[in-house]
A and B are shown apart, each in its own frame.
Chain A
Amino acid sequence: MKMNYKTLLGFSIIIYGILSILNGKLIHIPAKAILGFTLIFYGIPSVYISFNYHKKNMIVLSSVSFFTGIFLALNAYYKVYSYTTLVLFIIFVCSATFFLLFIEETKKKYYLYSGLFLLLILYPAVKIIQKIESSYFIYHYLKIGNIILPIILILLGISLFLKRND
């Protein structure tokens, strides 16, 4: 059997199903961690396949899936979720993705420079956000964002659906 994205997705869904069935009976894993482990399981081989087939879009998807899995698993066990860790996670994932893209195509140096740039701004960005995280402003900012961001997602989904035939 040749391993490709759909096969991998099939295996990942099976693992998710098995872990969910066993959860609470033989094993005790938080639901978030199960989802995290599944994403990690999907992410690692998927990157490998993407490198084989030189598919950059799948490299991006795989790395995001892998790091989201790690984030969810860590969050489930250590409760590290905060606004700062979310920002740290987004910047770090972008940086790692650019590095992976650079590995895929070493001729394009701007992947490497973008990854390095993101790593450089990671520390000051987190420091600044740590300072303003507890402020009154950020509380309201997040509250408004919780309504605006899903609307943006819905609009994006509709626009993608409308251009499906293009």
Chain B
Amino acid sequence: MNENNIPNIFEEPENTQHFKKIKRLERSKSDFIISGLCAGLGKYYNVDASIIRLISLLSLAVSSWFIYIYLLASFIFPLEKEFTTLEDIEKIKIRRKNSYTILSAILILAGILWLFKSTELIHRDELLNQNSLLINFMYLIIGLYLIDKNSAEEVLINYEHISKSKKLVFGVCKNLSDDIGIDINLIRTFFIIGTLITSGAILLLYIFLLITKHKKGESGLTDENEL
């Protein structure tokens, strides 16, 4: 509207801004593991995509039907058209976050299934159901998708950004973690579970590493001329 109260037909009405910003459910192009559906859902509902991914993966413990729903939704919902190109550091951060989410989901899922089996509460064989033809075809589709998606650009996850944790007992796990580049929690868990399963044999390895570390002073295992 101008000063003389004559409507300006070239002026954009105020309320069209509202229609422009209508959210659409689209698959994410920048944050994806398979098709970017979970990230798209996260953006749509304003929730962290990792939580949706975790819930989706954990739903496999209940039923494998989630896989079909996921594939169907991936075909139905389009890829986002407007997206910002991320810098390499951002890409690495997203990949690291996604790999952590997958790893944690696998561990939780394995723990739940193991618990189900050992307590014999629920017999859960659906996940490795060999007779389902549809699931087997789904493996083929996912495999082809991974190859196709990856042939376009070389993806090498940089694990140097794994956080350097503090030592808890003697620092053996910390040194191994820094040296090999595996998360310290995984190494600690390996030593605990390994010791329990092997009735102490892995504990001997821990002591061996500890002795060799202290034998050569404070420099730790990460020194090149160690031992």
Contact = CB atoms under 8 A, between A and B. Distances in A.
A10 B155 CA distance: 13
Chain A binding surface, main DSSP class: helix
Interface string B181-197: 11101100100111011
Contacts of A114: 205, 208-209, 212
Interface in A58-82: 60
Contacts of B78: none
A163 B163 contact: yes
A87 B198 contact: yes
Contact of A160 (B139, B154, B185, B198): B185
Contacts, number: 208
Contacts of B109: 157
A159 interface: yes
Interface of A: 1-2, 4-7, 9-18, 20-21, 23-24, 31, 34-35, 53, 55-57, 60, 86-87, 90-91, 94, 101, 107-110, 113-114, 117-118, 121, 125, 128-129, 132, 145-154, 156-161, 163-166
A-B pairs, top 3 by smallest CB distance, nearest first, are A17-B139, A10-B146, A157-B107
Given A113-B212, A117-B205, 19 more contacts: A4-B155, A5-B156, A7-B147, A11-B143, A15-B143, A20-B135, A20-B139, A90-B198, A94-B194, A94-B205, A145-B197, A153-B107, A153-B114, A153-B193, A154-B112, A157-B106, A160-B103, A160-B183, A163-B185
